[in-house]
Structure 1
Amino acid sequence: MKAIAHLLLVSLLALAPAVAAPRAATPAAHPPGVAIASGHALATEAGLQVLREGGNAFDAAIAVSSTLSVVEPISSGLGGGGFFLLHDAGTGKDVFIDARETAPAAATEAEYLLENGEFNRDRAMNGPWSAGIPGLPAAFVHMAEKYGKLPLKTTLAPAMRIAREGFPVYARMARGYASRRDVMDRYPGTRAVYLASGRPIAEGDIFRQPDLAHTLELLAEKGFDGFYRGETAKKLLKGVHDEGGKWTAAELAAYQVRERAPIVFDYDGWKITTAPPPSSGGIALAEMLQILEPWDLSKLDATHRTHLVVEAMRRAYRDRTFYLGDPDFVEIPQRTLTSADYAAGLRATINPDKATPSDMLSGKQTPLEDEETTHFSIIDADGNRVAATQTVNLLYGSGLIPPGTGVLLNDEMDDFALKPGTPNAFGVMGFDANAPKPGKRMLSSMTPTFMESADKVAVLGTPGGSRIITMVLLGILGYDDGLDAQQVAALPRYHHQWMPDVIQAETDAFTPDVVKGLRAMGHTVDVPDEEGGDDGRRSSHVWGNLQTVEWNKATGTLSGGTDPRNPVGAAKVQLSP
């Protein structure tokens, strides 16, 4: 592995564990215990509880995911979807479970246009027309039946209890509600949950969701039919129809998760296993890392290292815009885009000392996405592992809760190219490959990922919209540099996505000399707290919420890293008795 290129200033959370076991003389055959990192301490504890009750990593994933669906409604939930990357230690098999939402048949492109032909942004972002058919509940049933050891009544029990008894509202949840209240107040089912006390939720309130607890109970008792048919389905359909939407019982009952082969490639001695389409992340990672591999980044100064990484990002994001969509509906040139030969061709277009203007790589502008998603990482004592990223898209999704369900519906329809060439709510645009069709899955940036070398295994992922992919890229490079799990979770971040042609960076991600050097190469750099920045805009100070766990087989140790940007996250290791 390459040496650490330069010192990085990192913040360590008190919750993040130290190395958890003594050094072993030979590589360990199994981890010394279990490790879970997630965006909320209650979800991490739910996963550990299920493991203590005899479950495996896949059972724990159901517990963590369902609990996040209760305690992080701002980011994910039963009304949304997600991707689950699984490794079965017994068989050595890796599988990608695609629980992405699907387009209702009524949601044609014409439904998202105003009378004058302009794009109807409100319909795409808010309410029933913005919601795809949810996939997360079906993923729980699928994992429990095919990979888990415990019944859903056990794995969903922590989420049911927390929904019923409540949990303290945290600052990000309260701020997010305040920013979306004008939409959420439109719908009686949502008002009944978020204004239950007669006033808006506030930090420190105990937030209870009895209807959601009942929905989870039906799912636990009846499996797929407990959500997609019967009582819950009727309430979902009525809530959507009462607000003018056009879901049907048939398409709700027809939802299916897809098992897909992950994208696998090598980088600098690591085997990288990651997300295939309809995620754009795996193909983009393969492009970027294979472009970079011939360069020894550890021998470069920080300016040239950043320049090369940015140029790799630029090229991968250009391809994302034009080629990627749901592989069940469009033909994706995956073999070409992930090949080393294609990466070599892209590499040949990079000037090692000068930025490539994005308008030379034809296309139109694409501003940044937001970051309302969540991720968790798990390794169990048998070596099974899970990387999972789930979302409802915008803050609190569509804002619509069908009365009596507690289920906050997603607004993932906005991730389609509803009007080709027109940016969505986050400024990300697409074309025919990502146009909506009945049952089609919208393109995503979610990138749950495994890394494996001769002596280490790491599981990582993050929310962050279109910046997910570059955050995972920087995490991979951090592990490759020799950083530990907590240092990887705390890494400063920067991002380029082809359009707009600008490097976005967190506060203190670059020194003033690096910024100066990048600008001298022709890059536009948007620096937080710098008056105006190069383009007159100001960037977010921080972004993402990376959660990662690492098993060092050489030392027989487990460790976890949780993003210090998120004060309610937790990474915990529990040793085997």
Structure 2
Amino acid sequence: MRNFEKPTRSVAVSTNAMAATSHPSATLTAINILQAGGNAMDAAIAACAVQCVVEPGSTGIGGDCFALYAPKGGSEVIAYNGSGRTPKALTIDWFEERGLTEVPRQSPSSVTIPGAIDAWTRLHADHGRLPFAEMLAPAIRFAEEGYAIAPRVHRDWLREEKLLAAEKAAADIFLPGGRAPRIGEVHRQPKLAATLRRIAAEGRDGFYRGPVTEDMVRHLRSLGGLHTLEDFDAAAGEYVGPVTTDFRGYTIHECPPNGQGIIALMILNILSHFGATDDPASPDRLHIEIEATRLAYAARDCWLADPAKADVPVEEMLSDELAARLAGMIDLRGALTDLPPFEMPRHRDTVYISVVDSDRNAVSFINSIFDSFGSGIVAPRSGVILHNRGQSFSLKRGHPNVIAPGKRPLHTIIPGMVTRNGRTEMSFGVMGGYYQAMGHAHLISRILDYGMDMQDAIDLPRLVPVGGNDLRVEAEHTLSAETAAELQRRGFEIIPAEEPIGGAQVIRIDWKNGTLVGASESRKDGIALGF
């Protein structure tokens, strides 16, 4: 039970249906759709569309989407990969000819073909109930009539003023009066409203064919991009089989590579070799979690890629043998200074949405433009912010994740689902770029290892290792000084995080009582609501 004297909030509880998002307007939209007769998929898409308007720094229709869907609260989980591919003309040679060793953020080379709208329309056609146009109506209204700027939205917007000022189309829309809108001010996006109207009327073709496509391609090519109308027309996501692992008697489901959900499962597999400590925030527990993350992320950086274009050793990554070997390397006396090499066997802004409806259909839904405001490139006539997901590619020849034509990058966004005994137990997700895999494992461990209240589990201080053999660990200021000092003594270098780490939403189905319990990230503006 939560301590009611602490400045936090209670979990949400309801009997009928529930939604949890990082913005109040999106959560309320999902509830309205559910009360109008829509199902969980309808509600998730409608909420996401709203967030593409009211949280423009976090997500947009010019980004990618992944989803997990558990029909009727059963143990069968359907996964959808809505990540986009590179233009077919873009090769590693293009970067080498220009002397580039990494993909620049505010450049067309960072823009892969957005997969979100293709994913929304396919998921809705297969699993939705209400007409698709009704899903976009609330977002269109906010874009046309305006929306009030929320505190976290303002904070994230303010940090990207320089990026947005560097491109006229972006500045015209997102820096009215030459600055980021302030808390409580009203902002409008009429160009995006018109684009959403076209998509509402024409479906997928409203984005991937016609004037909207022409606007995006024309603008990208004017900046030196190699995108074509044919690249957009050919965009297509796919249903995929989830990857899973068993943890404390529960089955954890994630989308498979090219997403990093498999890395969350690797971390949980390592943690399964350790019992729970007395305190989930103790130096010993955090030490174990930091090292499990560093080891799993080292494997990610060597192995994770688009399985259609590279050999990704999924079975090896999820094997008990690998988990036991990695767990055996963790020594509570000191930090690992040399991570093992991972040879083949033979990077943050996102919104996450969880919805469960009265039939117990559960949707775990995530949509992203990667960095805040993505690439900072905005199509001038359609108002579409284009993501910078291409920055996740390697430019090292021979690497599984090396950039190549028509290839999907290593992807950070990962929805999660938990089942047990033939039923869905939880729909959950964690935002925050490369933190997400660690965040998934942390959240699940806090709930299943420690029996924590879900909101309390979300509210605990967070930290994340920088990666590789680097011993730096970014930590929120709420981590106790004593714990930070002990981790420092063990060899980690604890450094202040530049911003709050990640964000989470979770809904748990209480089958015994026939109720739903939800929690939403306190570091964001959002809420969980049910009825």
> How high is the TM-score relative to the length of structure 1?
0.85
From the superposition, tell whether residues 196 and 313 of structure 1 become closer, same or farther in structure 2 (CA, over 3 Å). closer
The separation in 1 between residues aligned to 2:87 and 2:100, in whole angstroms, is 22
In structure 2, what is the equivalent of residue 531 of structure 1?
none
The separation in 2 between residues aligned to 1:556 and 1:310, in whole angstroms, is 37
In structure 1, what is the equivalent of residue 70 of structure 2?
87
- Aligned: 1:390 with 2:367: yes
From the superposition, tell whether residues 120 and 291 of structure 1 become closer, same or farther in structure 2 (CA, over 3 Å). closer
Counterpart selection for 2:120 from 140, 143, 150: 140
In structure 1, what is the equivalent of residue 474 of structure 2?
504
Higher alpha-carbon deviation: 152-161 or 88-97 = 88-97
In structure 1, what is the equivalent of residue 13 of structure 2?
19
Matches within 5 A, 1:228-267: 228-267=208-247
Contact 2:161 2:175 in 1 (8 A): no
Matches within 5 A, 1:435-450: 435-450=402-417
- TM superposition shift of 1:180: 3.0
The separation in 2 between residues aligned to 1:162 and 1:143, in whole angstroms, is 23
In structure 2, what is the equivalent of residue 482 of structure 1?
451
> How high is the TM-score relative to the length of structure 2?
0.92
Higher alpha-carbon deviation: 76-85 or 167-176 = 167-176
More strand by share: 2
In structure 2, what is the equivalent of residue 295 of structure 1?
274
In structure 1, what is the equivalent of residue 133 of structure 2?
153
Matches within 5 A, 1:343-358: 343-357=323-337
Contact 1:502 1:523 in 2 (8 A): no
Contact 2:12 2:529 in 1 (8 A): no
Provide the secondary structure at the position in 1 that maps to 2:119.
helix
The separation in 1 between residues aligned to 2:184 and 2:278, in whole angstroms, is 49
- TM superposition shift of 1:312: 1.5
From the superposition, tell whether residues 315 and 262 of structure 1 become closer, same or farther in structure 2 (CA, over 3 Å). same
- TM superposition shift of 1:459: 1.7
Higher alpha-carbon deviation: 290-299 or 336-345 = 290-299
Provide the secondary structure at the position in 2 that maps to 1:73.
coil
Matches within 5 A, 1:199-278: 200-278=180-258
- TM superposition shift of 1:336: 1.1
Matches within 5 A, 1:180-199: 180-196=160-176
From the superposition, tell whether residues 119 and 90 of structure 1 become closer, same or farther in structure 2 (CA, over 3 Å). closer
- TM superposition shift of 1:460: 1.5
Higher alpha-carbon deviation: 476-485 or 342-351 = 342-351
**Total equivalences in the alignment:** 523
- TM superposition shift of 1:239: 2.0
The separation in 2 between residues aligned to 1:540 and 1:8, in whole angstroms, is 29
Provide the secondary structure at the position in 1 that maps to 2:290.
helix
From the superposition, tell whether residues 7 and 306 of structure 1 become closer, same or farther in structure 2 (CA, over 3 Å). farther
Provide the secondary structure at the position in 1 that maps to 2:206.
helix
**2:526 is matched by which residue type in structure 1?**
G
From the superposition, tell whether residues 524 and 145 of structure 1 become closer, same or farther in structure 2 (CA, over 3 Å). same
From the superposition, tell whether residues 74 and 499 of structure 1 become closer, same or farther in structure 2 (CA, over 3 Å). farther
In structure 2, stretches of 5+ residues that fail to align are none
From the superposition, tell whether residues 387 and 405 of structure 1 become closer, same or farther in structure 2 (CA, over 3 Å). same
In structure 1, what is the equivalent of residue 491 of structure 2?
523
The separation in 2 between residues aligned to 1:517 and 1:201, in whole angstroms, is 42
Provide the secondary structure at the position in 2 that maps to 1:129.
helix
Contact 1:59 1:143 in 2 (8 A): no
Provide the secondary structure at the position in 2 that maps to 1:503.
strand
From the superposition, tell whether residues 296 and 322 of structure 1 become closer, same or farther in structure 2 (CA, over 3 Å). same
From the superposition, tell whether residues 456 and 507 of structure 1 become closer, same or farther in structure 2 (CA, over 3 Å). farther
The separation in 2 between residues aligned to 1:416 and 1:554, in whole angstroms, is 46
From the superposition, tell whether residues 419 and 205 of structure 1 become closer, same or farther in structure 2 (CA, over 3 Å). farther
From the superposition, tell whether residues 169 and 112 of structure 1 become closer, same or farther in structure 2 (CA, over 3 Å). farther
From the superposition, tell whether residues 199 and 348 of structure 1 become closer, same or farther in structure 2 (CA, over 3 Å). closer
Contact 1:288 1:313 in 2 (8 A): yes
In structure 1, stretches of 5+ residues that fail to align are 21-31, 364-368, 421-430, 529-538
In structure 2, what is the equivalent of residue 427 of structure 1?
none
Contact 1:507 1:541 in 2 (8 A): no
The separation in 2 between residues aligned to 1:50 and 1:541, in whole angstroms, is 33
Counterpart selection for 2:500 from 542, 553, 558: 542
- Aligned: 1:572 with 2:526: no
Contact 1:488 1:561 in 2 (8 A): no
- Aligned: 1:378 with 2:355: yes
Contact 1:8 1:491 in 2 (8 A): no
Across the aligned residues of Structure 1 and Structure 2, the Cα RMSD in angstroms comes to 2.6
The separation in 1 between residues aligned to 2:500 and 2:178, in whole angstroms, is 34
Provide the secondary structure at the position in 2 that maps to 1:202.
coil
- TM superposition shift of 1:352: 4.5
Higher alpha-carbon deviation: 433-442 or 302-311 = 302-311
- TM superposition shift of 1:279: 0.8
